[in-house]
Amino acid sequence: MIAFQDPLKQLPVRASTFAADVDGLYYFCVWVSIASFALILGLIVVSAIRDRRKREDQEPTSRVTHNTMLEVVWTLIPTVILMVIFAWGWRGQLDMAVAPGDALQYRATASMWKWDFFHPGENTPVDELYVPLNKPVKFTLDSRDVLHAFFVPAFRAKRDVVPGRYQTLWFQATRPSPQDGFWLFCAEYCGDGHSLMRKRVHVVGDADFAGRPWAKLPEEPAARGEIFWRRNCSACHTVDGSTATGPTFKGLWGREETMSDGSKVAVDETYVRESIRNPQAKIVKGYESAVMTPFPVDTLPDDQVGDIIEYLKTLKP
Ligand code: CUA
């Protein structure tokens, strides 16, 4: 592995064992491109000046049609450069393809438009990731609907998430994350909410990791409700008043909504619970084409629905 600095200040922080090698190859390509650009453009400019027609009656002088040496040189050098890029990329690809045997096993499921992350040995999905420092971790990725992609720039780790098959990816984090973590993106355009599939990855020491920080919930019901909203509802319901697939939650509590059949319904506990368990029972006018998947008790227990209701109450118009 060749460690390159980042002289052009283009790259995100390096936080995995892959980063130095990926950046080295990236900079190799950048320097080759800059050198080729300068060489080719320089030759064009020099010959345009030196060999320009200098008098009106000047005849073309060069009778050269072929130069074998020149042809060999300008074929061979780029070929060698391309082979270097290929070999370098291939070796890196192999490193990334094969996870160490002792890697911690994570799962991640993508769907429009959220991530469900499962920490090793756990069955409760969360939407913030925690990985231990200096330990290899492996992800098994799958999608419930369309193509997505799992991408953490700081780790130089990226994999398509493909419906109907399992993809894998591994990395080993080499530095603790900042307070609010590294960004994880969906890197494959997957529809309206693509940009909402943006999450946090925290890299923590062994002691913190053993405390299962991903499972910690706040004491305050509305604060827990916000977490459950983010996990379950945020793909379709905003809290800032902007329009998405479903009605916004901002100012929803206590409001009188007009249904598609013209009737009016006041938004209270009963209405919210019914809309979660059986979304088709009452459809808000204007949202007839938006079909919401019901959340049964085993995916969203009643106490979590209660917390979401407490959170709704805080979202004043
Ligand atoms: Cu999922 Cu873009």
- What is the spatial distance between Cα 23 and Cα 16, in angstroms, rounded to a whole number? 11
Longest dimension (CA), the chain: 94
Cis peptide before 113 (omega within 30 of 0): yes
- What is the spatial distance between Cα 15 and Cα 156, in angstroms, rounded to a whole number? 8
Task: Provide the 8-state DSSP code for 23.
Answer: H
Between residues 1 and 281, the one the model is more confident about? 281
Q: Which tokens belong to 98?
A: 């094969």
Given the CA of residue 188, which atom of ligand 1 is nearest to it?
A: 2
Residue 160's beta-bridge partner residues?
A: 149
Going by DSSP bridges, is the β-strand pair 136-143/104-111 parallel, antiparallel, or unpaired?
A: parallel
Given the CA of residue 186, which atom of ligand 1 is nearest to it?
A: 2
Band of pLDDT at residue 317, cut at 50, 70 and 90: confident
Distance 244 CA to ligand 1 centre (A): 15
* Residue 99 Cα distances to 51, 60, 136, 172, 286, angstroms: 58, 64, 8, 10, 49
Distance 188 CA to ligand 1 centre (A): 5
pLDDT (tens digit per residue) in 123-175:
888 888 999 999 999 999 999 999 999 999 999 999 999 999 999 999 999 99
Distance 110 CA to ligand 1 centre (A): 8
**Residue 120: per-residue pLDDT:** 94
Q: Is residue 150 within 6 Å of ligand 1 at its C-beta?
A: no
Give percent of the chain with pLDDT exceeding 70. Answer: 99
Distance 147 CA to ligand 1 centre (A): 7
Q: Is residue 188 within 6 Å of ligand 1 at its C-beta?
A: yes
Going by DSSP bridges, is the β-strand pair 148-152/157-161 parallel, antiparallel, or unpaired?
A: antiparallel
Where would I find the beta strands (DSSP E) of the chain? 104-111, 114-118, 128-132, 136-143, 148-152, 157-161, 167-172, 182-186, 198-204, 256-258, 264-266
Q: Can you tell me the mean pLDDT for 177-190?
A: 94
Q: At what angle do helices 19-50 and 68-97 cross, to 10 degrees?
A: 160
Q: Is residue 186 within 6 Å of ligand 1 at its C-beta?
A: yes
Q: Is residue 141 within 6 Å of ligand 1 at its C-beta?
A: no
- CA 200-241-201 angle, 5° bins: 0
Distance 159 CA to ligand 1 centre (A): 12
Q: Is residue 190 within 6 Å of ligand 1 at its C-beta?
A: yes
pTM over 0.85: no
Mean pLDDT for the chain overall: 90
pLDDT (tens digit per residue) in 190-241:
998 899 899 999 999 999 999 898 888 888 899 889 888 988 888 889 998 8
Q: What is the dihedral of CA 92, 95, 97, 103, to 10 degrees?
A: -150
Amino acid at 2: I
Distance 191 CA to ligand 1 centre (A): 7
Q: Is residue 197 within 6 Å of ligand 1 at its C-beta?
A: yes
Q: Is residue 189 within 6 Å of ligand 1 at its C-beta?
A: yes
Q: Which tokens belong to 152?
A: 């953490």
3-class DSSP state for residue 284? Answer: strand
**Residue 1: per-residue pLDDT:** 43
Given the CA of residue 187, which atom of ligand 1 is nearest to it?
A: 2
Q: Which tokens belong to 84?
A: 């270097």
Q: Can you tell me the mean pLDDT for 78-107?
A: 94
Q: Can you tell me the mean pLDDT for 8-29?
A: 90
Residue identifier of the C-alpha nearest atom 1 of ligand 1: 148
